[in-house]
Amino acid sequence: MKGGLVYAGDSGAHRLAFNRDWNNFQPRAGIAWQIQPKTVLRGGYGLFMMGQSAAGPDTGFSRRTDMIASTDNNLTPAASLSDSFPRSLFPTGLLQPVGSSLGLATNLGLGIGAQILDRPLPYSHQFSFGFQRALPFQWVADVSYVGNLTRKLPVSANLNFIPATELTRLPVPERAAYFNAQVPNPLRGLLPGSAFNGATVPRQQLLAAYPHFQQVGISNLPIGGQSYHSLQAKATRRYSRGFAMQASYTWSKSLERVASLNAQDVTLSDLTKTGLEQRLVEFDMPHTVAAAFSYELPFGKGRPFLKNMGGWGNAVFGGWNVNAQYFIRSGQPIDFPNASPTAARSAKLTSSQRDELAKTKGRTEFNPFFDKWFDTSLFPTQARAPFTLIDAPTRFPDVRSPYLESWEFSAYKEFRIREVARVQLRADFQNALDYAYFGRMVARPNNVQDPRFGQLDPAQDNQPRVVVLVLKVLF
């Protein structure tokens, strides 16, 4: 058997948590070109190194003794309330800290974790290219492509698994009995304080790459990545005559590769060649529209209308500023359930399809308290069987939570009380139209065996309407 922990500073090993990378180059470049008197082209690129902080686990210097509930995959109990740590399993008693004195034999029979020593820093390519145009009536339009490619992100991997060739050799119904079967243990008596020290051991443990450890985890594997591409359009009216406004639209897509779909995707001979699943980022929102304006009402002292008004009239009606903000964005991608679809079609439902399904249940329209958000008939009622490779994505590519929409209003004014004091009055209306947002599934994770599978969480996931009144006296 091969494999064990190597401690920093022991037997000539490097004392640092990872080899430092001294040769990072971070160039920047930008360009601005006035094509026409009112049109400018702008572009830029930058390479940015991302920081990294890793100290590694404290295995050996801090040891926890876990109760071993069973040694045969929960077929029979191995402990009791009166004897939670029987001598047959823990002949030397509770596990004591041993530091690095055991070297490669540290935590035999238990789980271990380590990190890649030789790894570069993650880095990000950021770039943009676009046009800006001055328009009549103080407006400026801006259209740009913006991208971000991140590479060498740290990824974690499990190295103890049943090889795919062995796993798929048997029909699915026979796998659980075969891999859970107790077989003679060649490591009997060599792994004290673990579930694998008895006369027999589950067959699956002996098929792992490191059978003398319960599990082996590797972290900070520099193979992950993310990508972001977007079209960003913006129109801005510069402040003039008391009015300013900005409206924007973003069309984007964010993808990530930060985890393997199956443990068997790990390439033990070269961890850097481990296959990762490409999926939408959790917070991917392809469409976002936002607008905001600020307007000084033209009434009161020093303004176009009623400019000669003074005293209490000006204090009540003059000098007001009003603001409004609006945004609407796409929903976020929903996690895939724990079962593969039974047909090659999308589970996405349109609003009209949801309403039609609700009508078959006696309701006039879709109700998030009772109805399914996506087509659950596409999935079986039983979860994926144990010892089965995942052959479906972990996140829907097209099924998203509802869109989020909100209006914000505010009004503000300031006036003097004689020469020594000023009064500020402000009213804010947050989520002024009280749009309710149900952005999460009630069953998390998405479980096909949950009777609420496919339903949105009826708990409102955004802030309800809030009205805030503020009065300040400054002197």
Q: Can you spell out the DSSP letters for 292-308? A: EEEEE-SBSTTSSBSTT
Q: Is the dihedral of CA 40, 41, 47, 52 positive or negative?
A: positive
- Residue 109 DSSP code: T
Are the C-beta atoms of residues 34 and 42 closer than 8 Å to each other? no
State the 10-residue block means of pLDDT for the chain, 475 residues long: 83 74 91 96 96 77 83 82 84 83 88 88 96 95 98 95 95 94 93 88 94 93 96 95 94 97 95 96 97 90 72 72 96 95 94 94 92 95 94 95 96 80 89 93 90 92 94 86
Q: Can you spell out the DSSP letters for 334-371? A: EEP-SS--SSSS-----HHHHHHHHHHTT-SS--TTTS
Output the pLDDT for position 311. Answer: 67
Task: Please give the C-alpha separations between residue 402 and each of 198, 350, 354, 456, in angstroms, as whole numbers.
Answer: 53, 11, 12, 9
Output the pLDDT for position 51. Answer: 79
Output the pLDDT for position 168. Answer: 94
Are the C-beta atoms of residues 108 and 210 closer than 8 Å to each other? no
Output the pLDDT for position 33. Answer: 96
Question: H or E segment at 243?
Answer: strand 243-257
Please tell me the distance from the alpha carbon of residue 59 to that of residue 40, in angstroms, as a whole number. 59
CB atoms within 10 A of CB 125: 14
- Residue 320 DSSP code: -
Please tell me the distance from the alpha carbon of residue 274 to that of residue 159, in angstroms, as a whole number. 11
Please tell me the distance from the alpha carbon of residue 368 to that of residue 331, in angstroms, as a whole number. 15
Closest to 162 in 3D by CA, of 152, 148, 176: 176
Are the C-beta atoms of residues 333 and 399 closer than 8 Å to each other? yes
Output the pLDDT for position 320. Answer: 86
Structure token pair of residue 248: 């924007």
Please tell me the distance from the alpha carbon of residue 412 to that of residue 424, in angstroms, as a whole number. 8
Output the pLDDT for position 90. Answer: 82
Task: Please give the C-alpha separations between residue 87 and each of 193, 195, 417, in angstroms, as whole numbers.
Answer: 9, 12, 84
Are the C-beta atoms of residues 432 and 386 closer than 8 Å to each other? no
Q: 218: which strand partners?
A: 114, 157
Q: How do the domains of the chain map onto residue ranges? A: 28-50+113-160+213-474
Q: How far apart are the first and last CA of the chain?
A: 79
